Amino acid sequence: MTEVITPAAPVHRGPADLHYLNEHRGLRSWLTTVDHKRIGVMYLWSVLLAFLLGGIFAMLVRLELLTPKKTIIEADAYNQAFTLHGAIMIFLFIIPAIPAALGNFVLPLLLGAKDVAFPRLNLASYYVYVIGALFALGSMLTGGVDTGWTFYTPYSTTSNTSVSMMTMAAFILGFSSIFTGVNFIATIHKLRAPGMSWHTMPLFVWGTYATAVIQVLATPVLGITLLLLLMERVWEIGIFDPRLGGDPVLFQHFFWFYSHPAVYIMILPGMAIISEVVPTFSKKTIFGYKAIAYSSVAIAFVSFLVWGHHMFTSGQSDLATAVFSFLTFLVAIPSAIKVFNWLATMYRGSLDLKAPMLYAIMFLLLFAIGGLTGIFLGTISVDVHLHDTYFVVAHFHYVMMGGTVIAFLAGLHYWWPKMFGRMYSESWARVAAALIFIGFNMTFIPQFIMGSRGMPRRYYNYLDQFQPLHGFSTFGSWVLGLGLLIVAGYLLGSLRKRCDAPGSPWGGMTLEWTTSSPPITHNFETTPVLTHGPYDYSLPGRRA
């Protein structure tokens, strides 16, 4: 590949000058771009679309559960709605949301690099994502899927809905995830700015690195699992089918060997964002840099050793169950290390409660609940009662939505001015953040209560005694949905303005704030050379 080197742009540029969004124009320039920023933006719109679609299914599920019997859809449609909600949210939204959309945009900027290590592979990962998304869409249009996002056998090998195509979709999306992971690891190893050592990298980079390692190590196993499932459906190879001498629990082992680490593919990048937002808005050096950095790696490592906690009630041996339970508790240690270090960073900082920081604080509260309830579920004797109840549903929504999605919103608000060069309305952002916080808790606290009282997950009908709590949960989902719509409103609204964002709207010290907003195509006027750490707010003149 030969590239013409464009001469460096003049140093003083007004907002009307050329940047990565307007230097080239037209659809073709977007579809053939290898610029990590543009690929990040394309990913961003795609995952937001997936979020909208998955959200519509979520609202449908909640609406159906408003009354104990049929509310608006039949049982079969309900099964499809919760399956599609889960599959879309996980494979099309959460997994790519932070690494592939925000990460793609900011990672090279944080490193002071011109691009990721393999720009064409990066574009390929986007196209593979789109192809996977089309397969998922195709599956929805040709009968949908009703197995739940986990595709458990033997139901998934006998269901006559469009499981094969959805399996293909997840298989293809896996490649997209692997491409991103490979690219990021090579980028972090080889493209750090001169002077940036492993211990002066911004913490977002550490989180992304740990995530990328999991993406590379776990996703191939999902690939082969889905391939085996597909072969079971098409050829009846017998591996998961007890009639033919196979073992359905083996599928669960294979599936969770990927999907438990995948939970950390989802949460680690969220934590990575929080590690950037907290010091910037506390105007303080991060507390425990190394502890936060290495705890990401520790989480990635332990994540591979705990998959059996999904099979406590599946006939796994008692010994294995006890070992998996113990290992599951270990995850709490690095997670708590992070939380306490963030709190220590905020302690006696000069807190600036702008939108990104509001979401970061929201993350701390909700993730703490999500994490602690995870310990309930990792405890064998308690899990036997709570397994497959709404308690589990509430737990992982606190981690995935209260954790990752809220962190994604923190990151989106934090880097939005950098990405698009526009400031959004801070007052609307506060209103929306309040609605999201209230709505989220309204939706999911009742689910903890129902779960602890035995309400099973995924059921279409339920006992009358659960109606008030289900009703409250559904009302909460409307508040939550309204909050998210307001976010969409003011963020999209800001795009109609002229570029008004300064290079560094929050006073952050990482390298992305040293270039203009939006950045020029090659990111920096000159290759940045690091003279201070990423969070040196104590340097003379930095502490405003």
Partner 1 sequence: MSETAAQPGRRAHEPFLQHHFAEPEQQVEAGKIGMWLFLVTEVLLFGGLFVAFGIMQTRHPEAFASAHHHLDRIMGGLNTIVLLSSSFTMVMAVAAAAANKRKQLIVFLVLTLVFAGVFLVVKYFEYSHKFHDGLLPGKYYSFQGESVPGEFMFFSFYFMMTGLHGIHVLAGMGAIGWVLRRAIRGDFSNRYYAPVDLVGLYWHLVDLIWIYLFPLLYLIQ
**Burial class of residue 351, CB neighbours in 10 A (0-12, 13-18, 19+):** middle
Cα–Cα distance measured from residue 129 to residue 96, given in angstroms and rounded to the nearest whole number: 9
- Give the whole-angstrom CA distance, residue 49 versus residue 52: 5
- Contact partner at residue 449 from partner 1, Cu ion, none, CB < 5 to 8 Å by partner kind: none
Residue 114 binds to partner 1 (criterion: CB under 8 A): yes
We find the least distance from the C-beta atom of residue 380 to Cu ion, in angstroms, to be 14
What is the distance between the alpha carbons of residues 422 and 501, in angstroms, rounded to a whole number?
Answer: 5
Taking the complex as a whole, the smallest distance from the CB of residue 263 to Cu ion amounts, in Å, to: 6
Sign of CA dihedral 331, 399, 470, 78: negative
- Give the Cα separation of 406 and 421 in Å (integer): 22
- Assess 395 for contact with Cu ion (CB under 5 A): no
387 binds Cu ion (CB under 5 A): no
Residue nearest to Cu ion (CB): 260
- Nearest Cα to Cα of residue 107 among 199, 203, 173: 203
**50, 100, 117, 429: residue in contact with partner 1 (rule CB under 8 A):** 117
Choose among partner 1, Cu ion, none what residue 292 binds, the Cβ cut-off being 5 to 8 Å by kind.
none
The answer to whether residue 18 forms part of the interface with partner 1 (CB under 8 A) is no
Among 66, 137, 186, 344, binds partner 1 (CB under 8 A): 186
Cβ proximity to partner 1, 527 vs 538, nearer residue: 527
CA dist., res. 211 & res. 525, Å (int): 30
Residues 196-235 that bind partner 1 (CB under 8 A): 216-217, 219-221, 223-225, 227-228, 231, 235
Q: Which residues pair with 520 in a beta bridge?
A: 523
Shortest separation between residue 373's beta carbon and Cu ion, angstroms: 13
Q: Which of 30, 118, 428, 490 binds partner 1 (CB under 8 A)?
A: 118
Q: Which of 52, 63, 73, 250 binds partner 1 (CB under 8 A)?
A: 250
Residue 246 as a binder of partner 1 (CB under 8 A): the answer is yes
CB 189, CB 216: distance < 8 Å: no
Q: Are 300 and 328 in contact (CB under 8 A)?
A: no
Minimum CB separation from partner 1 for residue 266, in Å? Answer: 19
Query: Interface with partner 1 by CB under 8 A: which range of 118-126, 342-350, 449-457, 483-491?
Result: 118-126
Instruction: Give the count of beta carbons closer than 10 Å to the beta carbon of residue 182.
Output: 17
Residue 431, binding choice from Cu ion, partner 1, none, Cβ under 5 to 8 Å by partner class: none
Cα separation of 426 and 502, whole Å?
15
Radius of gyration of the chain, Cα coordinates, nearest whole angstrom:
23
Provide, rounded to whole angstroms, the least separation between the CB of residue 309 and Cu ion: 6
Contacts of 88 (CB under 8 A, 6+ apart): 50, 53, 54, 57, 136
| 3 state SS for 488-499 | HHHHHHHCCCCC
Query: How far apart are the C-alpha atoms of 276 and 273, rounded to whole Å?
Result: 5
Q: Which residue in the set 160, 197, 381, 526 belongs to the binding site for partner 1 (CB under 8 A)?
A: 526
Q: Which segment (200-208, 236-244, 322-330, 406-414) binds partner 1 by CB under 8 A? A: 236-244
| Residue 182 binds partner 1 (CB under 8 A) | yes
DSSP annotation of 92 reads: I
3-state secondary structure at position 389: strand
For residues 169 and 135, the answer to whether their CB atoms sit within 8 Å is: yes
Give the alpha-carbon dihedral of 271, 353, 340, 257, to 10 degrees. -20
- Residue 199 or 385: the one with the smaller Cβ distance to Cu ion is 385
CA distances (Å), 297 to each of 214, 403, 496, in order? 10, 18, 41
Q: Count of residues binding partner 1 (CB under 8 A)?
A: 48
Q: Which is nearer to partner 1, 46 or 523 (CB)?
A: 523
Span interacting with partner 1, options 73-81, 180-188, 203-211, 293-301, rule CB under 8 A: 180-188
Place of tokens 């010091």: 279
Q: What CA–CA distance (Å, rounded) separates 332 from 477?
A: 29
Residues 529, 511: Cα–Cα separation, whole Å: 10
Centre a 10 Å sphere on the Cβ of residue 21 and count the other Cβ atoms it contains: 19
Instruction: Provide the β-strand partners of residue 456.
Output: 389
Is residue 191 involved in binding partner 1 (CB under 8 A)? yes
Helices 163-190, 203-235: crossing angle, 10 deg rounding: 150
Output the 3-class SS for 138-186. Answer: HHHHCCCCCCCCCCCCCHHHHCCCCHHHHHHHHHHHHHHHHHHHHHHHH
Contact partner at residue 260 from partner 1, Cu ion, none, CB < 5 to 8 Å by partner kind:
Cu ion
Given 76, 236, 426, 536, the residue binding partner 1 (CB under 8 A): 236
458 binds, among Cu ion, partner 1, none (CB under 5 to 8 A by kind): none
Task: Please identify, using beta-carbon distances, which residue of 49 and 231 lies nearer to partner 1.
Answer: 231
CB 410, CB 363: distance < 8 Å: yes
For position 244 contacting partner 1 by CB under 8 A, the verdict is yes
User: In terms of CB distance, is 296 or 473 closer to Cu ion?
Assistant: 296
Given the complex with partner 1, which of 283 and 522 has the nearer CB atom? 522
Residue 118 interacts with, from Cu ion, partner 1, none (CB under 5-8 Å by kind): partner 1
Residue 219 contact among Cu ion, partner 1, none, beta carbon within 5 to 8 Å by kind: partner 1
Q: Of 19, 37, 38, 260, which lies in the binding site for Cu ion, with binding defined by CB under 5 A?
A: 260
Nearer to Cu ion, 156 or 259 (CB): 259
Instruction: Single out the residue of 55, 99, 103, 119 in contact with partner 1 (rule: CB under 8 A).
Output: 119
Stretch that binds Cu ion, among 184-192, 232-240, 253-261, 461-469 (CB under 5 A): 253-261
**Site residues (CB under 5 A) for Cu ion?**
260
**Site residues (CB under 8 A) for partner 1?**
1-3, 5, 8, 113-119, 121, 178, 181-183, 185-187, 189-191, 216-217, 219-221, 223-225, 227-228, 231, 235-239, 244-247, 250, 254, 522, 526-527
